[in-house]
Chains A and B, each alone.
Chain A
């Protein structure tokens, strides 16, 4: 059973805050895999992560499409997942959006991929089940979890309030091992993990 993130330490120089969770090997492997695929999706020509645990994840998403783009192909702007990760900056003036994209897209892709790699590296350092993050790593981890969830949501067709509830109802009628059910379980696991991390970053429930 996974243990949610809690904050440890005193927030002092001698004992800085740390964020500690307990995750099993399978959960860590799955996270490393989706984080690696997120980095690949954002920087298709960048360094690639080891495919640890990929069989599990591939089997989960095989029915709903992969997080990665076809091999060798650049991430296409029309990919709705990439479009959500790097949306237009202006809603009604295409010239302003284009100029904004020209100035920001490469940097955003790199920073998002870097956060995903940072989170994956922290998971790779786990001793036993214990995942321990510094303040900077915790922030990168929270951002990367958001991006993975945005990609999963796009792949599942969740784009508006209520879509997720509808999908959950639909999933109730599907066999237990259906890919959509598995993807929903992953989505909800990521949301649970992220909520615990952000609550810890905000200083706990009573802050």
Chain B
């Protein structure tokens, strides 16, 4: 008995999902939210490292927006809802 077919199937299915559902959650710059707060949200909600959270926060601040998560549409909607709960200006959209 070999594990290979099972693994192949798992890999193929993950690849299909990536092709079918290229969605993204964006956070947009706003003049109210503090840099420290945005960093804290990215760390505490997504579990991102301090370094990654600060880089994303700076992208929002300097570039006006940052893609903070990628994946299935339902997951990006859930992230958007959670980020609205934190008062961040978040949206979801198809990647591209």
A interface with B by C-beta (< 8 Å) = 84-92, 96, 100, 103-104, 107-108, 111-112, 139, 142-143, 146-147, 149-150, 153, 158-164, 191, 194-195, 198-199, 201-202, 207
Contacts and interface: CB of A to CB of B under 8 A. Distances in A.
What is the size category of the interface that chain B forms with chain A?
A: 20 to 34
B93 to A, nearest CB: 6
B92 A90 contact: yes
B32 A149 contact: yes
A104 B40 contact: no
Contact of B37 (A90, A160, A161, A194): A194
Contact of B31 (A91, A103, A164): A164
A142 B81 contact: no
Interface of B: 29-34, 36-37, 39-40, 43-44, 50, 77, 80-81, 84-87, 89-93
A195 B40 CA distance: 10
A89 B85 contact: no
B34 A100 contact: no
Contact of A108 (B34, B44, B84, B93): B84
A197 to B, nearest CB: 9
B43 A202 contact: yes
Contact of A202 (B31, B32, B36, B77): B36
Contacts of B50: 202, 207
B22 to A, nearest CB: 15
A96 B23 CA distance: 13
Nearest to B29: A161
7 contacts: A84-B89, A89-B77, A143-B87, A147-B87, A161-B31, A162-B31, A198-B40
Contacts of B87: 85, 143, 146-147, 150
